[in-house]
Amino acid sequence: MPGDKRPVKVTFACEVSTSGQRVFIVSSAELFWQHYKALPPAERHHYEIIRQASPCHLYFDLEFCPVRHPGLDGAALVVPDLEFCPASNPGLNGAALVVLLLAGVAQQLQQLFNIPWHDSYALELDSSTPSKFSRHLVVRLPGMAFADACHAGRFARLVLLRLLQRGSSQAAGLLVRNKDGDGFSTFVDMGVYTRNRAFRLYLSSKFGKTACLRLTNRTAGATLDPQAAFNQLLISGGVQGQGGVQGQGGVQGQGGVQGQGGVQGQGGVQGQGGVQGAVRSWLRLPGSVVLNMRGNRWCGNVERQHKSNGIYYVGH
């Protein structure tokens, strides 16, 4: 209601077992923070629930296994000159992939929405260990937000596609070996843009783990006090009332693609691996169409179904 000054309620979750079991909490961000900051670090296993159809800031979950990439300069894909070399991989500078990713974000924001980039928009969290490079990026555009996590995911996918289309050796580093070593996935986890996603909070670790998410010293968050950082790093909490960043550079749709850009479909578009799939959503770009699939995770790169990663097709 206009003029309503009541605190915005945010849905949080606390992980209570290694099986992923969670309990849920609905609270204002301020009240939650007062209890959260008082917890011993070993008891912080908390997540923000990015609610379906709720406006949100742009966010990324970045990860790869260093032992699968003994020579990968991961830092070149983020911000330069960060000395991050896990003991098991003395040649790895894990932050390097983020520079490239943020450059891609800046380029697409300018081209699609005429939004100039400023380094203060990015906040970076790190919980890397010698066996896993793990970071979160949050991009907050002043006075604006994406319509929901699905829209943010489409934009993230577009950034990746544009970077990979460059064909450079640096961009090729965005494709990393999976943890099993039997296939490839992207440096950006594209599975975090689903409905009601749980996204780990600042200062939290996974249950049974000790590596918690902490701000790096390279972005605007380095100068924030802990409570301000907590508020700034919420993905959807408190976003209400901001203008929308929509369109993602093309026409969008849900379900079967019907006659858009010369692509015809009836929902079912692929049945490899013995399972009939369908189009979950689609995005038309200049010269190509991106089909985001549901019901089938069969991937030609690994010649089998993915266990958790989604797939998409790009038609030129």
Q: How far apart are CA 124 and CA 136, in angstroms?
A: 6
Burial 282-312 (b: 16+ CB within 10 A, else e): bbbbeeebbbbbeebbbbeeeeeebeebbbb
DSSP assignment letter at 90: T
The more confidently predicted of residues 30 and 131 is 30
The string of pLDDT tens digits covering residues 238-295 is 676 566 675 443 334 444 333 333 333 334 445 565 667 788 777 665 566 777 777 8
Q: What is the DSSP letter of 192?
A: G
Residue 201 has pLDDT above 70, yes or no: yes
Long-range contacts, stretch 22-28, CB < 8 angstroms, 24+ apart: 22/47, 22/198, 24/49
**Residue 228, pLDDT score:** 95
5-14, 125-134, 182-191, 295-304: the lowest-pLDDT one: 295-304
Mean pLDDT of the chain: 78
Q: How far apart are CA 264 and CA 254, in angstroms?
A: 13
Which range has the worst mean pLDDT, 56-60, 84-88, 119-123?
Answer: 84-88
Q: Which residue has the higher pLDDT, 269 or 156?
A: 156
Q: What is the pTM of this model?
A: 0.72
For residue 190, the SS3 value is helix
